Amino acid sequence: MTDKNLIKIAEEFGTPTYVYDAESIKNHYEKLTSSFHKSTRFFYAAKALTNINILKYIKNLGASLDCVSINEVKLGLKAGFTSDKILFTPNCVDLREIEEAMGLKVHINIDNISILEQFGNKYGNTYPIFVRINPHIYAGGNHKISTGHIDSKFGISIHQLRHIERVMKSTNLLVEGLHMHTGSEIKDADVFLQGLEIMFELAEHFPDLKYIDMGSGFKVPYQEGDMETDVKTLGKKVEKAVADYQKESSRKFQLWFEPGKYLVSESGHFLVKSNVIKQTTATVFVGINSGFNHLIRPMFYDSYHIIENLSNPKGPERIYTVVGNICETDTFAWDRKINEVREGDILVFRNAGAYGFEMSSNFNSRLKPAEVFFLDGKAHLIRRREEFEDLLKNQIEVL
């Protein structure tokens, strides 16, 4: 997909609009699968981007699906994933939501002792489960997206192994999988190897173990100088670690990973329009027809998205601060060099496929953007832009 395609899409469908390039998703998926042993399975972390067309496309590539809510499970089934290809990894849900997932026959991952106990008391070994372990590996990245640290609410601390064992013994639980997910944007891929070693040690305590799920944390580059997780090297190192383990143990486990961002981030281009150029004493602002209600990552995680001017790609570079239209601090980028921006120009945010549309809201009674899927050279509208009526859709007027 080229910038010419993007300009045409902006003209045809208007802005703000999220555009996803199918080919990029496919390339990343193939890069992953070709880097690891062929028995390795990849569960796309649906929460990064759940448009039903994206789910179907990723299903057709051959991936499985990781879901964090019962509705993601239902979306996955609707997209055609079979139940054995869905893993439900919720946190802070009640037993009822887990029972609903049992009814849908998907793999279930339990992440606290309380539910583990309730589940065991009620179902014993009649339904195999995964246990989510927090190995307390501090995986770097942003504190807000790191889940492995000691204060994290995710998983059952590795220090509570005895407690897990006690629950297993007293309720006859059947643990078929162990899971860890230490967070996003892991800079040092050796974190995965460290995690794998821990999982192999833990496996001793779980006689029915079939699967080891290493979660995600694959990094994608957001700005120049950023690196992408080197999956080729990681795949080789993992294969060696497995081979070393197999020298000492006859037990075999299938390895799972749960990439979200890695599969869809780069595919996404967020198209917006420059509404006003506002020169103050200190800064030149570009005010765009969007805000953190459409793309919250910069305000929420201080994340960086490359912004380019598609309408004036050869214009002289100037320094801008790009801001949104929300009535709160709403800054997408400070002091950015962008080809001269004029009012009405189309700008693009790169790398906007993951946690972009997915985290959007109607704050300020603004409408959510459209979504377009670029597949085989053609742009398909896959979500219509919201209209005023959508704001009132679920409201009940009592006055």
Ligand X SMILES: *Cc1c(COP(=O)(O)O)cnc(C)c1O
Residue reference for tokens 């065991």? 120
The CB-of-229 to ligand X minimum distance in angstroms stands at 10
Residue whose CB is less far from ligand X, 48 or 346: 48
Q: How far is the CB of 181 from ligand X (least distance, A)?
A: 4
Q: Which amino acid belongs to residue 290?
A: S
Is there a cis peptide before residue 16, judged by omega within 30 degrees of 0?
A: yes
Binding-site sequence positions for pyridoxal 5'-phosphate? 217, 355
Task: Residue 246: name the closest of 35, 33, 64, 37 by CA.
Answer: 37
- Beta carbon of residue 395, minimum distance to ligand X (angstroms, whole number): 31
Tally Cβ neighbours within 10 Å of residue 244: 12
Gap between the terminal Cα atoms of the chain: 50
Active site residue 92: no
| Dihedral sign (CA 134, 137, 139, 142) | positive
128 neighbors 110 (Cβ within 8 angstroms): no
- How many angstroms separate the CA atoms of 156 and 154, rounded? 7
Cα–Cα distance list, 188 to 62, 98, 259, 323, 355 (Å):
28, 34, 16, 33, 22
Q: Which of 150, 282, 327, 396 is catalytic?
A: 327
Cβ nearer to ligand X, comparing 179 with 366: 179
Q: Which is nearer to ligand X, 233 or 283 (CB)?
A: 233
Rounded to a whole number of angstroms, the minimum distance from the CB of residue 343 to ligand X is 35
Distance CA 111, CA 128 (A): 14
Question: CA 386, 391, 395, 399 torsion: positive or negative?
Answer: negative
User: How far apart are alpha carbons 333 and 322 in whole angstroms?
Assistant: 5
- DSSP assignment of 277-330, as one string? EEE-SS-EEEEES--TTT--HHHHH-----EEESS-TTSPEEEEEEE-SSSS--
Nearer to ligand X, 66 or 308 (CB): 66
- In angstroms, the Cα distances linking 380 to 228, 335, 357 are 29, 35, 16
- The rounded distance, in Å, linking the Cα atoms of 265 and 221 is 9
**What is the rounded distance in angstroms from the CA atom of residue 33 to the CA atom of residue 35?**
5
| Residue sitting closest to ligand X (CB) | 260
At its nearest, how many Å lie between ligand X and the CB of residue 184?
3
Phi, psi of 91 (to 5 degrees): -140, 145
When the beta carbons of 258 and 308 are compared against ligand X, the nearer one is: 258
Q: Which is nearer to ligand X, 43 or 332 (CB)?
A: 43
Question: Under the rule (CB under 6 A), what is the footprint of ligand X?
Answer: 45, 47-48, 66, 68, 89, 181, 184, 215-218, 258-262, 354
Q: What is the DSSP letter of 183?
A: B
Nearer to ligand X, 67 or 288 (CB): 67
Residue 388 neighbours by CB under 8 Å, 6+ apart = 367
Could you list the residues known to form a binding site for substrate, using ranges: 297, 301, 328, 355
> Which residues are part of the catalytic machinery?
327
